[in-house]
Structures are given as structure tokens and as C-alpha cells.
Structure 1
Amino acid sequence: MDRPTVEAVADRRGLTAFLRVPETIYRGDPRWVPPLRRDERARLSPSNPFFAHAEAQLFLARRGREVVGRVAAILDRWHQERWKDGAGFFGFFESVADGAVAEALFAAVREWMRGKGLARLRGPFSPSTHDVCAVLTEGFQYPPRIMMSYNPPYYPALLEQAGLRPIHELLSYEVDVPSVLPEGIGRVAAGASARGARIRSLDPARLPAEAETFRQIYNAAWAENWGFVPMSQAEMAWMAAQLRQVLVPDLALFAEWEGRPVGFFLCLPDLNPALRLLRGRITPWGLLRFLWRRRRVDTLRVILLGVIPEYRRRGVEALLLQEGFHAVRRLRYRLAELGWILEENAVTRRAAERWNARLVKRYTLYEAPVSD
């Protein structure tokens, strides 16, 4: 068998080949949800504001004329300024079940990163911590939820064969939407409300302004989290535009304390069963099937609940949970996935388990030195 060769993507034709690799890897997999090609192309375009402070090199692996894998090598200058850890990132990794392909791809990533003066590679992040990240390592029997990673079960072995080792575990829990909230949450929420906390829904007519408010809370609430890099105004505006069609205002809540925005709660309907019907492209017939299936979605993903540090432990989190729960019940959702949650985040994990949430999926982030 010929050894795989790796080439850097240098033109539009190469980018098209890069975007179509998953179609080969997941052919026949009933759980895979093809991403919209136009969205993936936009994510990798220089017009993505992430690339105002980052750069990436895409690589394709071939065996003969057949494309058998891909990966992106990524340098985020803001990460270097914030963490000074010499880490570059990899993302968009896909490969056939062949360790030689993974080894060849990561050899190319290492060579590129050495040229940038980086000391270690880490990922996957596609392309950043604000996007889809990590490798699914447990829970393959469950359907992938919206904006969560999915991959064949052999990927962890490929990455370890290429010299990468696990560094962080991310967890997802699943919970049946209960009929009532625990009594303690209502009591704490009432106390916060009495002291001046209020909850309001996102206003879609003011989406740019709402996105900026969200960004300010997000950057403050997550500032000390491992690997966090603040989002720019342009990045948040770009992401809001990408999500405009899937946002449900009653599931995107802001907490205000005496008029000041201090927290948020964000869920997204799990549109993956409907998105699967598009097969990566929007066509008239595909769009009709998508709209038909979308009306039957009864599962959601709880993505974020955050409060800026100086307003924590005042009951704001409980008030957000209470109002979010009421919206979820009103909209008739049946099941929620909570994720992802860092394994070491014991407080959030205990809270999920008190709600009888079940641990259903485990994702892993990997790292390796750039030089042996």
C-alpha cells in the first residue's frame, strides 16, 4: 500500500476537497449530521473575524489520488498574548482508520508550528474554543447534539498513535425536563428578584446590540477559565449572524441587576435531526424537509449559563434557571443535554446530578510537544 502524502491547501480547489473529506469518512453513518458546506467555507474564510488575530494552514492527506484525511494547523496570537504557553492548535481533523495517515498529517502540523516558534500542539478546536471542539471518546450510542463534535470511535487511537495525549475531559449530561423545579431554586430566585434582579428575553430586532451585551458578560464570566480568549466585537457579531436562524428568544435570557446586565442563560433547539435532511446543502426540497422536521424537535442543548464574578452567589443563577425552566416547559421540550462541562468543574457537575442528569458523553482534548 502506498504511503500517504500530505499537501498544503493553497487554492479554492484544495479548499473544496478539504470541505468534502467528511463525506468520505462518514458515508453510511446514520448518526452523522453533515455541516452546511457554505457555513464551513465561511468558517475557514479570511472574512471570519477570528482570523483578524489568527492564522491557519489547511492540510490534505492523499493516498495516490484519493483524499484520505485532513487537518488544520492554527496559530491564535491573542491566545499567545493571554496565556504565553507556546501552544498552537489543530482542528477540523478527519481521517480514515489508518494510523499512517494521522501520523503524516500531524507531522505536517508540527513542521508548520515549528516554523511559527510554537512549542506544543493542542486540540481539536475548529477553529477556537468558542467553536466545536474536542474528540468524542464515549457515548457513541447517543445522537450528536447541535454544535457538538462527533467522530468515529477509532479517532482517539489515531491521535495517540500520532503522539498526542489527553489533557482535559469534557462531559455532557442528559436530563428529562422535570415537571417542577426543586423547591430550593424557587426560594433563592425569589430572594434575588426581591433584591433587584430581573430576567428578560433576547430581542431579535436588536440582535447586534444584544450580541454586544452578551459578549461583555461572556468575556467577564469566563475570563479565568482554562484556555479562554475573549471574543472581539466582530467575532461576536459574526457568530450572532450565524446563529440568527436557530435562536429562540425565550431560550436566550439576560439577567439584569438594577438595570445592569450581569448574566445570561442560552439554550438552542437540537436541530440536528432536521439539519441531517439537508445533506450539507440547501435545496428547495431539502429546505421543505428541514422545515417539516424542525416543527417536531423536542430536545434542546443547554449551552451556557454565566454570571459576572461580582454578582455570583446572589441568586442570579437560580433566577436564570427558574425562568429558563419555565420557557422550556412552555415550549414543550422533553429532553435537554447539558454540555459541555469540564470534568474538573465539580460545582456544575454536582448541580447536574442533583437534577438526576445522566452522564452520556465524554469528549477529550489532546496535546503533544511540537518537537520530539
Structure 2
Amino acid sequence: MSYDKIDITPVTGKRDLNEFVDLAYRLNEADQNWVPPLRAEVMELLNPAKNPFHEHARMQLFLARRGGKTVGRISAHIDELQLKQPPEQGMGPGTGNWGLLEAEDAQTAHALIARAEDWLREQGMTQVVAPVSLSIWEEPGLLVHGHDHPPMVMMGHNSPEYEGWVETAGGYDVAKRLFTYELRVDKSFPDLVNRIVASGEKNKRINVRTVDFKHFEREAAIIIDILNDAWSTNWGFVPFTENEKAYGAKKLKQLILPGANMIAELDGEPVAFMIALPDANAKIAKMKGRLFPFNWIRLLWWLRNPQPADFRVPLMGVKKRLQNSRLASQLAFMMIEYIRRYAVSDHNAKRAEVGWVLEDNQGMVAIAKAIDSHMNREYRIYRKQL
């Protein structure tokens, strides 16, 4: 097969930016399991004036054109906070990223990846960890298993072809695998889990409560402080800034349901949390990326009392001093059981998804197995020395 020459150029203005964003909708239109993201959300992600990620990051977007037609896109970016992390945790000094890859064919994908690598070298980077779109907290990894069903809220989805394209780009090895686990929630957990939950309910030192919406900012700060402590030694960890804490709390608040988010206290001290979100993708999928003129009303109305709604648990954490203890598992089982009961009784939930989970997070993998879930999606993050 012969190809015309591919031109890779940086995104420099509004027209280019629109082409960058719109390309994903065109290339994925035929994939019935791809959920078109809200276009306004994608624009905000890329906007340095709105997304506080850009306060500590450098980014360049690129477009690929063949014969004047846009056929691909990629981002190249460097997170300054990521550069300060210990190298043994996967990132560290000299580490840059690329992400937001979309391409019509392997030749285009390879040309885009090569251009992103060149930009990272020009910026002094010596290693690339990718895809990361844009932050490790957003949509990291390339989907390599689970293309046969739509992603839940805040999870990525890409063509199955991309796996081969990335792995033949030259020099890329798998750095980490991320899993999601699916389970039925309209039936009780196994007896062992129920006994652990009942035991915890008898322990007067333990108090598992829902997030207090009257003091949401305070509760969000508690959750992020636990998260920063719990995940601080995890692969790929980058701490949240104060502006990111406020921004994230504001973004998540519209998805938060009172009974689906838990804080666990030990002797009155918050030591663990679990966040569960209704799967807004089930509603967003029909909107084709557009909130206006009327989709925003439909979405807001649904979010007031989503029915029926399945749920995703994107984040949980237990303070580091309690990790690898029986108490940590007990708190996790209690929180997930309380969320299960609420999701079924108040929102007619049938299924839920937990993740992503790092492949070597033995504690979370064990919990996933104990509640009779199964791995339904795998994402891979790759590494290459530049």
C-alpha cells in the first residue's frame, strides 16, 4: 500500500484546535462502543486558562495531514511535578509523555509518535511514558482488552488496532498494566465478605459514614489528603496541587450522590475513603459530544436522580500506616457493601466497575476477587528510552 507524504505540524490556533478535537469524533464514529466525550469537556481539558494541570505542565499538540486532510493527532507534554517523583515509581527526572493519540492508519500513528518523541527530546527529556492523556489522574493507558463493551464514566476507549501500532513504533516496552473489575451488585457478596462487614459494624472504633454535602469542600479536602497519603508510593503517583484539589472537587460534585461516597473513621480520625460515581456515560453516549441546545438539561435532570444507574468506583484509599492490615481490608469491604446497598435500593443498579487497579496492587486485586468480580478491561502504559 502506498501513501502520500504525511505532514506533522503543531497546533497553533483556534482552527487547528478545533480540528484536533473534532478528529476523534470522525475516526471513532463507527465504533458502537466508543462514547463521544462532551466536546466542552475536551476543550476545557486542553485550555491552560481553565485546567490547573497546565500550571505545572508544558504541552504541544500536533496534527497529521495527508494531501491536506487531517488524518491524526497527538499531544506531547511534560508534567513538572512528575519530574520530581522518585524514578523507582515509574516517572521521575527526564520523563515526558504523549497522549490523545488518534490516527487513520499505522503509518500516521508512527509518524505522530516519532514527532512527539522529538519534541520531548528537544525539551531535554530522556524517557517517554505513554499514553497518558493528559495527567495520570485522567485517562492513562491504552485499552488492549475490553473493546467489546462501552467504557464507564471517566475511562478511555480506543480502536483495537492501536495496540499493534504502538508496539511496532519502535522501542516501547510495557511499563505497567491497569485493570478494571466488573461485578454484579444486585446480589449479595459472598458470606465471608458479609461476615467481615458484620464484624466491623460491631467494632466501636470504626465509623463508616457518607460524605456530608453540607460541608462538601471540607470533605473533598479530607478525601484528597487521604489519597495523597495512601497513593504516595504507588507507581505513577503525582500529588494534587491546591488548585487541582479545588478544581477536581468542583468537577466531581455534579456526579456525587450522597449515599455512594464513603469516609471511614478510626477512633474519630478519617483514615479511608471510597468514591462511586453513577455511569453518566450511559446518558452521554447518546449526546454525540454536544450539550447544547437541550442535552445539558437532559443530563442535569438525569444526574439529580439517575434511574437506572450502574456505578464505577474510580478511587479509594486507606492511609499508608494501615495498609496491608486486616483493618484496611475490612474498611474497604464495609464501604463497598454500603455503596452496593445504596446503589441497588436507590438507583436500581445491576452492575458496577472498580478501577483502574495497578496489576501489582495485591490488596486491591484480592478485594476484587473476594467480591466475585472479574477483570473486564486492561490498559497498558508503555515506556521508551529516548
Alignment TM-score, normalising by the size of structure 2: 0.90
- Residue 328 of structure 1 deviates from its aligned partner by 2.5
Residue 8 of structure 2 corresponds to residue 6 of structure 1: yes
1:115 to 115, 122, 132: 122
* Coordinate RMSD, CA, aligned: 2.0
Which amino acid in the other structure matches residue 114 of structure 2?
Answer: A
| Counterpart position of 1:338 | 354
Residue 236 of structure 2 corresponds to residue 233 of structure 1: no
With 271-280 and 183-192 compared, the bigger mean Cα shift is at: 183-192
Which amino acid in the other structure matches residue 80 of structure 2?
Answer: R
- Residue 14 of structure 1 deviates from its aligned partner by 1.6
2:251 to 242, 249, 273: 242
| Counterpart position of 1:88 | 96
Give the Cα–Cα distance (whole angstroms) in 2 for the partners of residues 85 and 108 of structure 1. Answer: 21
- Superposed, 1:99-110 pairs within 5 Å as 99-110=106-117
| Counterpart position of 2:369 | 353
Ranges in structure 2 where 5+ consecutive residues have no aligned partner = 87-91
Which amino acid in the other structure matches residue 150 of structure 1?
Answer: H
1:25-76 per-position Cα deviation (integer Å, ceiling 9, x unaligned): 1122222111111111111111311111111111111112211111111111
SS at match of 2:84: helix
| Counterpart position of 2:182 | 174
Give the Cα–Cα distance (whole angstroms) in 2 for the partners of residues 29 and 103 of structure 1. Answer: 22
Which amino acid in the other structure matches residue 110 of structure 1?
Answer: E
- Superposed, 1:311-322 pairs within 5 Å as 311-312=322-323, 313=325, 314=327, 315-322=330-337
Q: Contact 2:182–2:353 at 8 Å: present in 1 too?
A: yes
Q: Contact 1:269–1:297 at 8 Å: present in 2 too?
A: no
Which amino acid in the other structure matches residue 252 of structure 1?
Answer: N
Give the Cα–Cα distance (whole angstroms) in 1 for the partners of residues 103 and 140 of structure 2. Answer: 16
Residue 80 of structure 2 corresponds to residue 77 of structure 1: yes
Alignment TM-score, normalising by the size of structure 1: 0.93
- Residue 140 of structure 1 deviates from its aligned partner by 1.2
Ranges in structure 1 where 5+ consecutive residues have no aligned partner = none
| Counterpart position of 1:263 | 272
With 195-204 and 120-129 compared, the bigger mean Cα shift is at: 195-204
- Residue 239 of structure 1 deviates from its aligned partner by 1.5
Percent of aligned positions that are identical: 32
Residue 218 of structure 2 corresponds to residue 202 of structure 1: no
Which amino acid in the other structure matches residue 217 of structure 1?
Answer: I
SS at match of 2:262: strand
Number of residue pairs matched?
A: 369
Q: Contact 1:262–1:307 at 8 Å: present in 2 too?
A: yes
Q: Contact 1:263–1:316 at 8 Å: present in 2 too?
A: yes
Q: Contact 2:71–2:108 at 8 Å: present in 1 too?
A: yes
| Counterpart position of 1:302 | 313
Aligned pair in 2 of structure 1 residues 353, 317: CA closer, same or farther (>3 Å)? Answer: closer
Aligned pair in 2 of structure 1 residues 173, 318: CA closer, same or farther (>3 Å)? Answer: closer
